[in-house]
Amino acid sequence: MERKLSEYISLSQTIDITKSSKKIKIGLLSSFTINGLSETLTVKCSELAIECKSYVAGYNQYNQEILDPKSKLYSFSPDITFLIIDIRTLLNEIFYHPYSISSSERKKIVKEKITELENLILQFKKNSNSKLIIFNFSLPSYSPNGLIETKSEFGFHDMINEINQELSKIVKNESSVYVYNFRQFTSKFGERNIFDYRQFFIGDIRISFDYIPYLANDLMGYVKPMLGLNKKCIVLDLDNTLWGGIIGEDGFDGIELGQTSNGKAFVEFQKELLSLWDRGIILAINSKNNFDDAIKIIQEHPDMILREKHFASIQINWNDKAQNLKQVADEINIGLNSIVFFDDDKLNRERIKQEFPEVLTVELPDDPSQFSAVLKELNDFNVLQQTDEDTKRGQMYAQQRERNRFEKSVSNLDDFLKQLDIKVKIKKSNEFLIPRISQLTLKTNQFNLTTKRYQEEEIRNLSNDSKFIVGCAQVLDKFGDNGITGAYIINKNEKFWMIDTFLLSCRIIGRGVENAILSEILKDAKKNGIEEIKAEFIPTEKNKPAENFLSDYGFKKQENFWVYNLNNNIKSPNHLTVEIENDK
């Protein structure tokens, strides 16, 4: 349940920022009164240990703030800015009298409005590094044309739909600009609730008090991923969470799943979980049960939606729940703070909350018919950009579990590597790969020689620079596609090549992939008549796994650099195949 605006306002006066570990600066621009929004955001931030500073522009001052490079907004230098223009402001008198003009005039006005919005976005980008979140426009339920509105030639509602569509198009290719779907917000809570005529006339308030906290909640959806507070993995209990009843008591045929009304609720919940898995959220199981009983349901029950292949870690045993949860995090190699925990049992939830406060433990209601709604209310899974690898993450982690099991079943490492059928595809950077290469440089900490971080724009520039080679590697094996998991940047001098960046995602370390990529770089250099390759290892707190990589390969230390003489043999591992893709 969301709290009242008045409560947020009084809470905002008693915030203790000393407990905050992260900071954010929020700019708020709007065409009407939005009192209370910044207070609510500040409180919601403080509850996540974020110190929030905000700048609220003067009433309807958004144009001046954006167009003037010396405006107070820009000198505040926000990290994220919300631009809230409502449809009444945008269309002005046309909002009331759309049919006082012809359809071609309506089209013309829409074009002008789109240009106006596009220009605001452009100017904002020119003057600020802040992310910009622009609200789209709610569609009034009313039309003066009544029921023939839907037959009107480029009618009132068509105008607003067109503006919304064009706005999305403009923003689609802007990496720092997003459209907030305010239209969807209005349809979720209802026009009659959101718009209160009395508040409108008295204070020019166009989002009524009661709904400001819900709006703030949606806007927090942007703040969380900006600060790395988004969740990546859902850990699930089984009995009375994924199905009704207790397998140990009710048996295979006795549990509720599918068929009954109650059983349908669990199927629905599983479908929603699967849809999150489809887009890259990792799933795992943490259940106190006999393994054989529970896994049989997962493998064989006809109404089960989630199967073994969807889970990256399966902990079904009689161990302590907290210990199991830690085991899940270790197995998948993610932080406890990226985990969401679902369990119908209050005591289990309390146990996890106490042991791991950084885990988001969801307060599940007793009634399973509400599980789906609770899941969909969470706005913790948002990301601000998504690569192919992100969407396949759930799948990749589940394959990893298979791989680990296989590794345990094979007696020695060499046999394991041989039987994995690893294939490394080496690719030169291109427009599709740039976001992923940038993401790898930003996120990879362990196997990373230099830990240099590059934004997308920088990778694009390096890719277009003939003095540099930017490449990456896709790794596949018999269990599936690991995606683009390695990247490198070479600085080409006339006499020698310098390895500027060389990194590997931690989930494929130790399979010879690093040696395969490196030897391809060396071969390429030799082909280009180069005699020496230089590399650097810049130690950090986390990159110990890469410490001995260069010396193990045969690089020799010369002053600050590691050097490989290309007259030496170039060895490459023989348990894997390498493919070079040259298409640019």
Amino acid (1-letter code) at residue 507 = R
**Residue keyed to tokens 């979980």:** 273
Q: Out of 103, 152, 161, 199, point to the residue binding other proteins (CB under 8 A).
A: 199
- Nearer residue to other proteins within complex by CB, 36 or 98: 36
**Binding string to other proteins for residues 1 to 20, with x set by CB under 8 A, is what?**
---xxx--xx--x-------
Q: Are 33 and 4 in contact (CB under 8 A)?
A: no
Distance of CA 512 to the CA centre of its chain: 30
Q: How far is the CB of 96 from other proteins (least distance, A)?
A: 20
Interaction residues for other proteins, span 524-583 (CB under 8 A): none
How many chain residues touch other proteins (CB under 8 A)? Answer: 18
The two structure tokens encoding residue 106? 């309506």
d(CA 58, CA 204): 13
Q: Are 450 and 440 in contact (CB under 8 A)?
A: no
CA-closest candidate to residue 24, choices 68, 65, 82:
82
Q: How far is the CB of 198 from other proteins (least distance, A)?
A: 5
Contact between 209 and other proteins by CB under 8 A: the answer reads: yes
**Ordered alpha helix ranges (H), 301-345:** 321-332
How would you write 415-427 as a 3-class SS string? HHHHHHCEEEEEE
Q: How far is the CB of 9 from other proteins (least distance, A)?
A: 7
Q: At 233, phi and psi to the nearest 5?
A: -140, 135
Q: How far is the CB of 499 from other proteins (least distance, A)?
A: 60
The two structure tokens encoding residue 11? 């809470």
Distance of CA 216 to the CA centre of its chain: 19
Q: Out of 2, 118, 149, 210, point to the residue binding other proteins (CB under 8 A).
A: 210
Q: What is the DSSP secondary-structure string of 161-208?
A: HHHHHHHHHHHHT-TTEEEE-HHHHHHHH-HHHH--HHHHHHH-BSS-
- Nearer residue to other proteins within complex by CB, 210 or 272: 210
- Nearer residue to other proteins within complex by CB, 7 or 421: 7
The two structure tokens encoding residue 569? 């043999």
Q: Out of 49, 67, 202, 413, point to the residue binding other proteins (CB under 8 A).
A: 202
Q: Out of 160, 167, 205, 235, point to the residue binding other proteins (CB under 8 A).
A: 205
Q: Out of 203, 254, 335, 539, point to the residue binding other proteins (CB under 8 A).
A: 203
- Nearer residue to other proteins within complex by CB, 203 or 510: 203
- Nearer residue to other proteins within complex by CB, 147 or 201: 201
Q: How far is the CB of 212 from other proteins (least distance, A)?
A: 11
Secondary structure class of 339 (helix, strand, coil): strand
Q: How far is the CB of 8 from other proteins (least distance, A)?
A: 11
Q: Out of 27, 36, 368, 394, point to the residue binding other proteins (CB under 8 A).
A: 36
Q: How far is the CB of 206 from other proteins (least distance, A)?
A: 13
CA-closest candidate to residue 314, choices 340, 344, 282, 345:
282
**Furthest CA-CA distance within the chain:** 83
Amino acid (1-letter code) at residue 534 = K
- Nearer residue to other proteins within complex by CB, 197 or 559: 197
Contact between 103 and other proteins by CB under 8 A: the answer reads: no
- Nearer residue to other proteins within complex by CB, 11 or 563: 11
Query: How would you list the strands of the sheet with 131-135, edge to edge?
Result: 50-56, 22-30, 80-84, 131-135, 177-180
* Part of the chain binding other proteins (CB under 8 A), chosen from 75-83, 198-206, 356-364, 492-500: 198-206
* Part of the chain binding other proteins (CB under 8 A), chosen from 33-41, 175-183, 215-223, 452-460: 33-41
Q: How far is the CB of 135 from other proteins (least distance, A)?
A: 21
Q: How far is the CB of 195 from other proteins (least distance, A)?
A: 14
Q: How far is the CB of 37 from other proteins (least distance, A)?
A: 12
d(CA 301, CA 255): 10
Q: How far is the CB of 208 from other proteins (least distance, A)?
A: 8
Beta strands 480-492 and 496-504: pairing type?
A: antiparallel
For 31-140, list the strands marked E by DSSP.
50-56, 80-84, 131-135
Q: How far is the CB of 201 from other proteins (least distance, A)?
A: 6
- Nearer residue to other proteins within complex by CB, 198 or 408: 198
Number of residues assigned to the chain: 584
Q: How far is the CB of 2 from other proteins (least distance, A)?
A: 14
Contact between 495 and other proteins by CB under 8 A: the answer reads: no
**Binding string to other proteins for residues 176 to 195, with x set by CB under 8 A, is what?**
--------------------
Contact between 198 and other proteins by CB under 8 A: the answer reads: yes
- Nearer residue to other proteins within complex by CB, 203 or 357: 203
- Nearer residue to other proteins within complex by CB, 34 or 273: 34
- Nearer residue to other proteins within complex by CB, 213 or 394: 213
* Part of the chain binding other proteins (CB under 8 A), chosen from 201-209, 408-416, 432-440, 541-549: 201-209
d(CA 118, CA 166): 9
DSSP H or E stretch at residue 106: helix 103-127
- Nearer residue to other proteins within complex by CB, 29 or 34: 34
DSSP designation for 33: B
Q: Under 8 Å CB-to-CB from 441, ≥6 apart: which residues?
A: 452, 453, 454, 459, 487, 501, 503
Q: How far is the CB of 42 from other proteins (least distance, A)?
A: 16
Q: Out of 1, 16, 172, 201, point to the residue binding other proteins (CB under 8 A).
A: 201
CB count within 10 Å of CB 548 equals: 10
DSSP H or E stretch at residue 462: helix 456-464
d(CA 429, CA 466): 12
d(CA 436, CA 448): 16
- Residues of this chain that interact with other proteins (CB under 8 A) are 4-6, 9-10, 13, 33, 35-36, 197-199, 201-203, 205, 209-210
